[in-house]
Structure 1
Amino acid sequence: MNNSDKFTGKASIYARFRPNYPQPMIDYLLTDTNPQFTVADIGSGTGILTRQLLDRGAKVIAVEPNEDMRTAAEKSLSAYAPFTSVPGSAEHTQLPDHCVDLITVAQAFHWFDATRFKKECRRILKPDQKVALIWNSRIPDAPLIKETEEICKTFCPNFRGFSGGSDNDRSIFCTFFRNGKYSVKTYSHPLQYMLDEFIGRHLSASYAPKPDNANHQPFVQALAQLFYRYEQNGAVSFPNETRCYYGCV
C-alpha cells in the first residue's frame, strides 16, 4: 500500500481526535511573519497545523496527497483567504521554485523519502530558509503509554512503534539538515481525553484496524478497559510532548 493511502477512510476521525500543537511553538516558528510570509505545510492531512499557522497570520500552502484528508482540510479551512490546497506529495509538491519562507511537516516526515524530500525542500524554499519537522510524541516510559503499546502490538499487525518509531533514531536528522546542524525545541503538551477521545485518538492511527477488520472491536474493547483503569473524573491524562527539529537543508 502506498503511504498516502494508509489514511484513506480515516479523515473524519483524524480531524476530530488528533491534537493540535502548542502555541509557543507556533510563535517560535512565526516570529517575523508579514502578510506575504508563506509557509508550505507538507503532508498537511486534515489541516490541524495548517489552521494554527493561518490563525497566526501566515499564508499557507497545504500540500497533501491523500484525497480524503485534503478534502476534509479544504472544507474546514475554506473561509481562510490565505489558504491554498495542493494535491502534491513531499517529494513532488508541484510548487514553483523558491516560493516559500518556511516548510513545516507535522506527524508526517516518517512517511517521506527523506533524500528526495530534502531535494524538493531546497527547490521550493527561498535561499537559507528553514524546515521544521514536528511531532506530538507520547512519553514512552509512562505506564499508560507502555500499556497502550502492548495493546497496539496485540491487535495492530502493522504497528511499528508510535509515529513509525521515527523519534527514537535521530541520525536521520543529521543527514537531512545542512551540515548536520539543527535545533531541537521540546514543549510540554499533556492531553486530557474522555473515553471517546481516547479511543478515537488511537483509531486515527494508520495501523489501527478499520471497522470491517476482525481486530477492530477487540482493539476498541482493550482500549476502553485500559481507559477505565486510569481514568479520574471521567478522563485520563495522556502523557505527551511536542518536539520540533528546525534548520536549513
Structure 2
Amino acid sequence: MGNTEKFTGKAEVYAQFRPDYPETFVRDLILENHLSPSSVVADIGSGTGILTGQLLNQGLNVIAVEPNAEMRQIAESAFGSNPLFTSVPATAEQTTLKTGSVDLVTVAQAFHWFNPEQFKEECRRILKPDGKVVLIWNSRVPHAPLIRETASVCRKFCPVFHGFSGGTREDPAPFQTFFRNGRFAVRKYDHPLSYSLNAFLGRHLSASYAPKGQKGQPYIDALTQIFQKHQKRGRVRFPNVTCSYSGRV
C-alpha cells in the first residue's frame, strides 16, 4: 500500500478525532512569517483540513494539497464555499503549483510520509524568495504513563507500528538534512487534550497503522482497559505538545 492510500477508509474518523493546533501557535506562525491577507500558504499533505481551517479563519489564502481523495473531499465539503480556499489533488513531491507562487509552506502531521529530497526541491520551486517551510506535529508526551501504555498496546496489536508519527521527531538528522545549512527554529506549545472513551478510541483508530474491522477489536479492547485505568469522571487527560520546525530550504 502506497502512502497515499494509508488513510483510505479512515478519513471520517480522522476528521472527527484528530486534534487541532493551539491558537497561540497559529498567531505566532503569522507574526513570525509576516503573513497578511494577501499572503498565500500552501498546506501540503493537508488531509481533512485541520490546519487549513485554522489558517482560513485568520483570513489567509490557503492552497490545500492532498493526494488522498477521501481526505480531500472532507476538506472540500467544509471549506469549498470559502473564496480563500483552493483544493489541489496532488502530492508533496509534485504539487502542480506555480513556480514562486507561495509565501509559506506548512506541513501538519505529514512530513514523515514524504520523500524529503524531492519535497525540498519542490518547496524551493514553489516558494517566493526567502519563503520558509514549517513542519508541525501534535506529539504525545512519551514518558507519561498513559502514553507509554498505549504505545505498548500499539506495538502488540499493530504490525506496522514504528512509533508515533513515524518516530521522525526523535532524530534531528532529517531536519538537519532538509533545512538549508541544517538551520531551523524549534517551537513547542503545551497542548494537553481531554478525551472521552469514544474520542480516545477514535484518536487511536485514526492512525495509519491501526487495524481495521474485526482485526481491530482486540486493539479496541486493550485501549478500553487503559482508558478505564486512567479515567476520572469519564475522561482521560492526554499529554500532548505541539512542536514546529521552521526554516528555509
Fold agreement, TM-score > 0.5: yes
Q: Does 1:61 pair with 2:50?
A: no
Q: Which whole-Å CA distance do the structure 1 matches of 2:36 and 2:248 have between them?
A: 21
TM-score, with length taken from structure 1: 0.98
The match for 1:95 among 71, 94, 97 is: 97
Unaligned runs of 5+ in 1: none
The equivalent residue for 2:16 is 16
Say which SS state the counterpart of residue 137 (structure 1) adopts: strand
Question: Counterpart amino acid of 2:224?
Answer: A
Q: What's the offset of the Cα at 1:42?
A: 0.1
Q: Deviations over 1:218-246 (max 9, x none)?
A: 11111111100000011000000000001
- Any idea what the Cα deviations from partners look like across 1:109-151, whole Å, max 9, x if unmatched? 0000000000000000000110000000000000000000010
Residue in structure 1 matched with residue 205 of structure 2 by the alignment: 203
CA distance in structure 2 between the aligned counterparts of 1:34 and 1:102, rounded to whole angstroms: 11
Name the CA distance, whole Å, in 1 between partners of 2:37 and 2:189.
Answer: 27
Q: What is aligned with 2:118?
A: 116
Quote the residue 2:245 is aligned against. Answer: 245
- Structure 2 counterpart SS, 1:65: coil
Letter in structure 2 aligned against 1:28: D
1:222 alignment counterpart: 222
Amino acid at match of 2:184: Y
Q: Give identity over the alignment, percent.
A: 58
What is residue 40 of structure 1 aligned with on the other side? 42
Mapped partners of 1:181, 1:170: distance in 2: 11
Deviation by residue 1:172-194 (Cα, 9 ceiling, x = unmatched): 11110111111000000000000
Conservation of the 8 A alpha-carbon contact between 1:33 and 1:57: no
CA-to-aligned-CA distance 1:70-104 (integer Å, 9 cap, x gap): 01110011232100000010000010000000000
The runs of 5 or more residues in structure 2 that have no matched partner are none
Following the alignment from structure 1 to structure 2, what is the Cα–Cα distance between the partners of residues 199 and 81?
35
Runs of 4+ residues deviating >6 angstroms: none
2:176 maps to 174
2:170 is paired with a residue whose SS is: coil
Alignment partners' CA distance in 2, 1:70 and 1:34 = 25
Deviations 1:186-219 (A, max 9, x none): 00000000000000000000000112x42x0111
In structure 2, the residue matched to 1:26 is 26
Equivalent residue, structure 2, for 1:126: 128
1:131 partner letter:
V
Distance across 1 between alignment mates of 2:162 and 2:184: 26
Quick check: 1:79 aligned with 2:81?
yes
Quote the RMSD (CA, aligned, Å).
0.7
Count of residues in Structure 1 that have an aligned counterpart in Structure 2? 247
